[in-house]
Structure 1
Amino acid sequence: MFQKILIANRGEIALRVLRACKELGIQTVVVHSTADADAMHVRLADESVCIGPPPSRDSYLNIHQIVAACEITGADAVHPGYGFLSENAKFADILAAHNITFIGPSGDHIRIMGDKIEAKRTAKRLGIPVVPGSDGAVTDEKEARRIAAEIGYPVIIKASAGGGGRGMKVAHTEDDLEVALQTARSEAGAAFGDDAVYIEKYLEKPRHIEVQVFGDGFGRGVHFGERDCSLQRRHQKVWEEAPSPALNAEERARIGGVCAKAIADLGYSGAGTIEFLYENGEFYFIEMNTRLQVEHPVTEAITGIDLVHEQIRVASGGGLSVRQEDIKFNGHAIECRINAEDPRTFTPSPGTITHFHTPGGLGIRVDSGVYSGYKIPPYYDSLIGKLIVHGRNRVECMMRLRRALDEFVVDGIKTTLPLFRDLVGNADIANGDYDIHWLEKYLAKEE
């Protein structure tokens, strides 16, 4: 097991990893920018190192400063959390060159899954069902028209190196294709420095289903069930739950088995999430995230397994602590992402939290690094906390969530709490009858 882990992140995920390390008896080091000097994870860590000014490029994305912090403190492993450097293959390679363990997959696996076109090819080879579309990057409009005609409209054009909804455009007819192609390329080039795009069939009313997987790096793989992440705004997840209200037991076992086998065959090490669009009983691969997900607590709630403990165990060479037959699913869990944003316009709302009170009681978990008097800096993601609720079934979970949202108090800034209070009382949400377009349509009606 590791002696000292450096946590290369901030906010609630840094605190989440820090707690897991403490439970395992591992010393912790956190890095922080000058803007985060008073952050909760900095206060609670065994050691902290300031690595630069507020802009991420000068601090949390500064690989050389983070490696230097490892060498100064004697950290023998780095946990990257999510975001920032968590899916940076170069970072994983540099750590390996310095004999520091990256708590995540190999640089090669990060590269494969980070390139959306190569990821799709790999998924196909591993037997994972994929969305019909181009086999690689689309180089000109003529080729795009041919592919679109073959798979049928509507189609979606996506950036090969994309993420977060950037470089994605939908063409409903052939007349829309030229503008969509040009716009997607332009956005992709500006956002990622790579204007390569590919085309896929656009599904009209799909769910977003993701399967949590783990590999030991030696040919063993397991899955921890699925999460439904269909409530989204601008391709950003807002509400996640497990298990999905849309799947039955047979579908759950089938797609889980396919994913676990693929991870084993790939020789993958650590945590990963294989994401699908699901429509009319069929799953279509869209991407794989080679890291811990924001929504991992809902999986922990229904399995009782600490996924960060599992990450650390696998990275230290201890292998997986469970076999597939050991993983049991219990009840239902929902996570709401509490952002420092206007609940209608989603405009960021940095500032000082004057009062912060979290709900409690059976089945309630709040992952947050903020506190009363904490000043939210304007430089980073607006996520300030996650409310995770677990119940014996979905009905109990929803009732408990309603109560927890009523108890949750954040004063001094705007947050998305009012949005969730509206959603939990909506009939479609109560019935689990929603798709990836539902939330944006709902918000449009409210304007």
Structure 2
Amino acid sequence: MINIVWLRRDLRFTDNTALNKALKTGKEILVLFIFDTNILDELAKDDARVTFIHRQLTKLDKELKEMNSGLLVKTGEPLKVWQDLIKEFEIGEVHFNRDYEPYATERDDQVQQLLQKNGISVFSHKDQVIFEPHEVLKGDGTPYTVFTPFKNKWLEHFEAQQIKVEEKFATDSFASIDSSVPTLEEIGFQKSDIEVQDYDLSVVKNYSDTRNFPAIHGTSNLSVHLRFGTVSIRQIVQQVYKQSPDFLSELVWREFFMQILFHFPRVVNENFRAKYNGIQWRNNEKEFEHWCKGETGYPIVDAGMRELNKTGYMHNRVRMITASFLCKHLLIDWRWGEAYFAKKLLDFELSSNNGNWQWAAGTGCDAAPYFRVFNPTEQVKKFDKEMHYIKKWVPEFQELSYSAPMVDHKMARNRALETYKKGIADN
């Protein structure tokens, strides 16, 4: 009889809760990963995230091979894969780390029911967060919808507990299986030209001073690693907690948006604040295309979009500027921008992407007020004064070939304010 550890967005062996709990049972462990076709079928064939996952799985397989085992990798719909696994192996227990997104919770419920029906014990564990959605609540047991009180309560809980990071595990507990990780081509993909950078925590000590300047190496590239769990959130928080309150704050934002999505799953498709449902978006497809390609005539917006298209990454400050431009200057529905980012961002995380887009549009739970409209020209003066970032991504911005601004800032700002005002009044 074997116990299975099902990896999903926790692609590591160090400080992996499900793995550590399974190892403590003393039974033989089989480590499993499923390429979920429900997700894969939506992606481009050279999706950089699939290349990254594949590379990480290959590393994990190599580690297991050194312990006379291997990683079992399957492709298909998870429920169907599990039906086959039940026939193939005598399974005692299944361990996995919890995921809080709507699709994931539904998938996990179905798999759990199937396993339990077949007499298999199922154990799910907290791993990708410091606090789960039900752990940081108001006094009356309802979820927070404003960040600052959530953060204060989060810190209060955090200071009252000890974080434990488990580094080591036994090496003779893994089942010996003859397996190999399928190639990218075998799962229907090809290698992406986009490389995921390693994360770098050396920036943390100066983070407050450098975080807003896209030309400076001032951000950590950590988000993609947290997204796929190639590093433990507990390890990271332990390292940065005393060094930078601002950096820690970003990690708390991540959990804030996760609990918003968990408690209010309607935000995937709806405005968090219903009073904004009356906004008449212009949704001009040609203008949207110019925005996607980085051809708006506003260098900072174009730089951000080109960086995203080329690298799968965009600096946080510039994410705010490009999102604000789409929603306020062009009056294009935040859902269009959110879907484009979801397709392109290496660190795409449904909760954060949704929360940040609704923040920029003014429709979210803890949103920028709708009358705050970023002026892209002023943003350049503040955050890319020497134009190093712009020169890197929009080298032609001073040439005649560079497109004129597609919309006048003052006109667009007034139009946005009028449209929002009217939308609120009509609703």
TM-score (norm 1): 0.32
Name whichever structure is richer in helix by fraction.
Answer: 2
Bigger-Rg structure (1/2):
2
Name whichever structure is richer in strand by fraction.
Answer: 1
